[in-house]
Amino acid sequence: MRWALLLWPGLALGIVSIASAQGDAVEADSARPLNILWISVEDMSPWLGCYGDPLAQTPNLDALAAEGLRYTQAHATSPVCSCARSTLITGCWATAIGSMHHRAGKPSSAAVKRNPAAYAAIPSYEATPPPEVRCFPEILRMAGYYCTNAAKRDYQFREPVTVWDQSNGKAHWRNRPNPSQPFFSVFNLATTHESRTFPKAKRNPKVTDPAHIRVPPYYPDTPLVRQDLARTYDNIAAMDQQVGEILGQLKQDGLLEETVVFFFADHGVGLPRGKRSSYASGTHVPLIVRLPGGKSATVERLVSFIDFAPTILSLAGIQPKDWMGGRAFLGRHEVKGRPHVTFHADRMDSETDRTRAITDGRWRLLLNLMPDKPHLYPVAYANSIPMMEDIKKLQASGQANAAQWQMLLTPKPPRELYDTQADPHEVHNLIDDPQHTERAAALEKTLRVWMQATGDLGLLPEGEMVRTELWPPSGKQPTTEPVTLTPAHGLACATPGASIGWRVTGAKVWWVYEPSTVLPEVPEIEVVAHRIGFKPSKRRRMTPWD
């Protein structure tokens, strides 16, 4: 029953995304599957030269944008990494599969250190999608792709061994055994992560003058704030060099014109009121896509992380799965865009809150479902950012100006409405302006329809969610049934939705088993089954020719 709520039919409506000329470029050589390179960075808003930021020193990304599609309305589904990544890898709403609470199975060491009882009432669990759901690289592998991830996963569940050909710091398309095999390669760059502003973090070269920083109006304008903003720009400049190195390798291998290149961030900037915040500063991300041929365009289509998995399948010529909640915005199976994108923010480490938000690209509405909580999560990890010292001083002084009201430790309004065109920093709440009553009501209605249609599990207490929705009826994690072998049916697993992996005993790579798989004539193979959210089965060795 829960599975029927994963899709929101209204999202199929919207405007046509890009001119057919770009679509033609993707289909230029249908006989040869396209490679796909995915460069993701952490904790970064669109603070790039190609997005009009004069302080950003990003020549490599600016050059990529000059030959690619620059999306101006790309959005993370959640303003924190693990929740957003669970949507990216599955194509499912985190609120529908139980991955909306940051750190579902891995407590924050900073929170525990500050308060050993911080997680006493918070269960440890894994997100558990319905059985049909697969991590999309597994689908690519079944279609013949070589899939690598270097190296972050952090999906709120342990992924099956069938998802990647290689997933570690050395993973690279260059490791594929056949140089003509198409690849999907992910590189996750942590250079811009919020922790890189911590006092003990290794400094990247200083290239940004704090005196030139444009301080957002919601921050106090102090030397410490300017220092952290400048350091963030320094980290962006260092990240840009890393991107240039990866793109250089692609060119050296002669693969640029056979590859679709994605560049994006996992959510907004890793500074206060950015990361963990449902404002644009926490969810609006850069997205650049270079197609073979290098055609350039600015794309205003609304794009959400829920759209990424179906888009990657579409670029690979694979029909997106019906259980994916998004819509492909490129490739053979591209469809019309959407009129809105939606967001969710729930527990962050040990701090519980609940916000739902929606934007049509200009207007943003927030529903603060726990308005007694402050705007700034009192997260122990984030308190290590030096500028938090000055923000706490501002809070204690009571001297915040009209644009800094969200910095105060006061209850939030239940509803907020912002005109991001006139007020890009979202500091002027228009919810009580009678001119916008109708607009706010329409956005709220659409947002609540989405919450209901997707079966928003974040509305349940976590313990109840685990017992009734993820692991009923006991709330204890099930174990995937072991793999069996029969002469008539080959490898099988009694657990619905389990991925079956096999490899020749002693080999490193696990292969995805399908009914059409012909097992090799070898003395012994190793097998394992794993449904997402369950414990994997015990690994077994067997002789396939018994």
Q: Which residues are catalytic?
A: 81
| Distance in angstroms (rounded) separating the CA atoms of residues 410 and 533 | 38
Burial 322-356 (b: 16+ CB within 10 A, else e): ebbbbbbbbbbbbbebbebbbbbbbbbbbbbbbbb
Burial 290-320 (b: 16+ CB within 10 A, else e): bbbeebeeebebbbbbbbbbbbbbbbbbbeb
DSSP string for residues in 370-433: STTS-SS---TTGGGSTTHHHHHHHHHHT---GGGGGGSSSPPPSEEEEETTT-TT--S--TT-
Would you state the structure tokens that stand for residue 441, as one six-digit string?
């009501």
| Distance in angstroms (rounded) separating the CA atoms of residues 189 and 205 | 17
Report the candidate in 173, 148, 184, 142 with the shortest Cα–Cα distance to residue 319: 142
The residues that bridge with 239 in the sheet, in sequence order, are: none
Report the candidate in 215, 220, 193 with the shortest Cα–Cα distance to residue 55: 215
Report the candidate in 414, 442, 436 with the shortest Cα–Cα distance to residue 423: 436
Residues 6+ away with beta carbon under 8 Å from 209: 230
The residues that bridge with 361 in the sheet, in sequence order, are: none
| Distance in angstroms (rounded) separating the CA atoms of residues 68 and 340 | 24
Which residue's entry shows tokens 């059985």?
Answer: 131
Would you state the structure tokens that stand for residue 59, as one six-digit string?
């020549």
Q: Where are the alpha helices (DSSP H) in 203-307?
A: 223-252, 280-283
